[in-house]
């Protein structure tokens, strides 16, 4: 399929997902050789009509040179000629921008010339100036407001798709005996809270429980290979034991249920611009509830009026295992020379590198409990970084043993969750 045809399918996808009637298409798609019966059965198992339409449009891109014109013909034969016309229109090259007249910048004079001085912009900022009678009469406050709105729009990631993105949640609770890692009691409480939260934020949530390290990597790679072109964001949440790990970019490593490690930087780099092109320029958020090491922090005394919050009555558990240098190279990150500079990435850690992350069997982890609470209360009005500062402050105030979350932020703009 030609690139212009692929581009047309992607640009028209929102309308096709909303309007395409897939039921009349199945027999013709098979008769005209675009899909086999097995492929069609898989498409039909995608879920709702909209989900089937979305997957059909995605899969069409890989069905050869004749797929596009054949699909247009099928649309017309099934009474959906309007959608065929939309695709043809999207396939046309974009019109060239209009040629502007050759306007020369002029010097700005002080009003009425009374001051005897003139004010001019630097050469690289000179602009053409209209006569006073030609200028639209806009109240100063309205003009300033619209300019502020435009600046704000430039600084905010736009989330308009529904769902706005995929959310993969890996929840490791029970570990093999050979791993010598204890069960993570309370993690299911965290998992349920996060599932509910991100569904409310218009994410398509997929949860996987008790995965070995290799299985975790497979899930991450499968998500990275999906087409995110019609989506605006991607979220990965990992709940597991963790530890320190030698690293080049992002610290820490996560245990699979078999006791083998997956470095955090390997997790993140599954979604970089090289490995996941359809997420280029889109925010990729990672939330990690796991220990960064086995150090226990009792904090330090500060001069303040508010007493530190005491630890609840329930027992505390950590998600730590002492750091050991990995044997061999199987858990080492990929060669850094092949990795581009991260962009549009945020990795939120439940604790500072090297330290434990606390979890209560009945209430779940401090970090997730606080994160969910803050996002539920503030996401309608505040951006993600502002909310993460509140999470850090709240968690840092808890308990006799201390914990402080933090993040590695490579987002280029502010991120606001889609709230209903």
H or E element, residue 149: helix 140-154
Separation of alpha carbons 237 and 287, rounded Å: 5
What values do phi and psi take at 254, rounded to 5?
-115, 140
Separation of alpha carbons 145 and 114, rounded Å: 31
Q: For 226-259, how does the pLDDT look when each residue is reduced to its tens digit (9 = 90+)?
A: 999 999 999 999 999 988 776 677 888 999 999 9
Binned at pLDDT 50, 70 and 90, residue 399 comes out as: low
Q: Per DSSP, what are the bridge partners of residue 318?
A: 358
User: What local confidence, expressed as pLDDT, does residue 94 receive?
Assistant: 52
Q: 3-91: CATH homologous superfamily? A: Death Domain, Fas (1.10.533.10)
pTM to 2 decimal places: 0.57
Separation of alpha carbons 273 and 281, rounded Å: 8
Domain with CATH 3.40.50.1460 in the chain: 165-409
pLDDT above 90 for 156: yes
Identify the residue with better confidence: 206 or 14: 206
Domain with CATH 1.10.533.10 in the chain: 3-91
Q: Alpha carbon 287 to chain centroid distance?
A: 11
Binned at pLDDT 50, 70 and 90, residue 384 comes out as: very high
Average pLDDT of the chain to the nearest whole number: 77
Instruction: Give the 3-state secondary structure of residue 11.
Output: helix
Q: Which amino acids are annotated catalytic?
A: 241, 291
Starting at the edge strand found earlier in the chain, the sheet holding 242-243 runs 242-243, 253-255, 261-263
CB-based contact 72:90 (threshold 8 Å):
no
Q: What share of the chain has pLDDT > 70, as a percent?
A: 70
Fold of 165-409: Rossmann fold (3.40.50)
pLDDT above 60 for 80: yes
Separation of alpha carbons 263 and 338, rounded Å: 16
């Amino acid at each position: 399929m030609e690139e212009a045809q692929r581009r047309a399918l992607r640009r028209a996808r929102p309308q096709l997902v909303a309007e395409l009637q897939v039921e009349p298409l199945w027999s013709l798609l098979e008769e005209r050789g675009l899909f086999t019966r097995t492929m069609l059965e898989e498409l039909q198992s995608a879920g709702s009509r909209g989900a089937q339409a979305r997957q059909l449009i995605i899969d069409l891109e890989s069905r050869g040179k004749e797929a596009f014109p054949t699909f247009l013909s099928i649309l017309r034969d099934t009474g959906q000629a309007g959608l065929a016309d939309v695709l043809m229109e999207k396939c046309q090259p974009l019109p060239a921008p209009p040629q502007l007249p050759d306007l020369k910048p002029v010097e700005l004079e002080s009003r009425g010339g009374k001051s005897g001085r003139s004010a001019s912009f630097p050469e690289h900022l000179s602009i053409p100036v209209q006569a006073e009678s030609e200028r639209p009469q806009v109240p100063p406050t309205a003009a300033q407001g619209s300019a502020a709105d435009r600046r704000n729009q430039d600084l905010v990631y736009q989330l308009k798709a529904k769902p706005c993105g995929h959310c993969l949640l890996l929840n490791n609770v029970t570990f093999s005996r050979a791993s010598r890692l204890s069960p993570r009691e309370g993690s299911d409480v965290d998992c349920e809270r996060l599932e509910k939260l991100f569904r409310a934020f218009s994410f398509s949530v997929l949860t996987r429980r008790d995965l070995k390290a290799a299985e975790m990597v497979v899930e991450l790679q499968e998500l990275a290979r999906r087409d995110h072109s019609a989506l605006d964001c991607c979220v990965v949440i990992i709940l597991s034991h963790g530890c320190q790990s030698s690293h080049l970019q992002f610290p820490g490593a996560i245990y699979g249920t078999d006791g083998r490690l997956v470095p955090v930087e390997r997790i993140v780099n599954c979604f970089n611009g090289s490995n996941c092109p359809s997420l280029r320029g889109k925010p990729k958020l990672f939330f990690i509830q796991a220990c960064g090491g086995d150090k226990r922090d009792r904090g330090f005394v500060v001069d303040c009026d508010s007493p530190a919050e005491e630890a609840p009555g329930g027992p505390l558990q950590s998600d730590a295992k002492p750091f050991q240098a990995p044997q061999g190279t199987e858990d080492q990150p990929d060669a850094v020379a092949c990795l581009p500079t991260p962009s549009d990435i945020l990795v939120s850690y439940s604790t500072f590198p090297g330290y434990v992350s606390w979890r209560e069997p009945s209430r779940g982890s401090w970090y997730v409990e606080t994160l969910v609470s803050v996002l539920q209360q503030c996401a309608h009005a505040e951006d993600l970084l502002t909310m993460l500062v509140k999470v850090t402050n709240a968690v840092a105030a808890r308990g006799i043993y201390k914990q402080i979350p933090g993040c590695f932020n490579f987002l280029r703009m502010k991120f606001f969750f889609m709230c209903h």
